[in-house]
Amino acid sequence: MSEDDRPRLLSGGNPQIPKGAGDAPVQAYIAAMPGWKSAIGQRIDALIVKAIPDVQKAVKWNSPFYGMGNSEWFLGLHCFTRYVKVSFFKGASLDPIPPGPSKQKEVRYLDIHENDAFDEAQFSDWIRQASRIPGERM
């Protein structure tokens, strides 16, 4: 992909990807994530698909969303300058609760920085739990 064809990076390095349903726009987003963030995006996507093979995907508001039927979303990703934010839309219902607090009662976050240890087993467990909880309609 030439430099002219790459998606524009918004504030914090978040890729500007047209909204769309399915795997293709999510993969375009992941490919456009800058630097080390693309590799973590690929890993997160692979773990979600492994845990929930029939997961639904979409890009909305320049962020990938993962969910179950009826357009109910349980997780979203977003790039910031120094980290990737994973949003668990019903994270307060997970056990253990993801570490990042939110101003929204049910939302919890997992911020992943470049050199952070990434507990794939815990993340996969959160994915399985989150997929069984009625998600957010967006």
Which H or E run includes 126?
helix 120-131
pLDDT reported for residue 135: 81
Query: For position 95, what pLDDT does the model report?
Result: 97
The residue ranges of every structural domain in the chain are 11-133
For the segment 99-107, the average pLDDT, to the nearest whole number, is 95
Which residues are CB-contacts of 55 (< 8 A; sequence separation ≥ 6)? 48, 49, 66, 67, 68, 131
| Average pLDDT for 41-59 | 97
CATH of 11-133, picked from 3.30.750.24, 3.40.50.720, 3.50.50.60, 3.90.1150.200, is 3.90.1150.200
Mean pLDDT over all residues of the chain? 91
More confident residue, 56 or 135: 56
